[in-house]
Structure 1
């Protein structure tokens, strides 16, 4: 039986790929607003979860918000999908059941 976080998936910046949350070992939010995740493997693969933009920079704690959401969702039952969303109130994480 896998860990609860194995049922939490995160959509990459372009929406083409999904990353299992328990495969992430490092999350980095750089000065441009680009959010990347380093995966747990020997190649140290990094994927972009959000591309930076001067006009739509996420909040400085956006990576911490993701960690908080994944932690909360790991305690729920069933597979969950998490993605970044920007609306009139700014950037936030949203989840949906798979």
Structure 2
């Protein structure tokens, strides 16, 4: 059992992949840390990697040797000129049937 800090832009899958070499333990990781696999990890917060989680040592060793850190989280902003605005279905946004 070990605790590791989450890094910037790491998703649950990124984090589990980095520390175990496989994403197959993502559900077990989420349960052990009382989070959902879709939750955003808190940067710098320590999360538990249990010894019961499946590991692929070839992959995890490769990441360690090459200082590879998976962090596929995406940050984006929408420019105001591209925003549709607020629309209400059947009032300002009309749904038409095809045909």
TM exceeding 0.5 = no
Output the TM-score relative to the length of structure 2: 0.27
Q: Higher relative CO (CA 8 A, sep ≥ 6), structure 1 or 2?
A: 2
Answer with 1 or 2: which has the greater Rg.
2
Which is helix-richer, 1 or 2?
2
Task: Please report the TM-score for the alignment, with normalisation by the length of structure 1.
Answer: 0.27
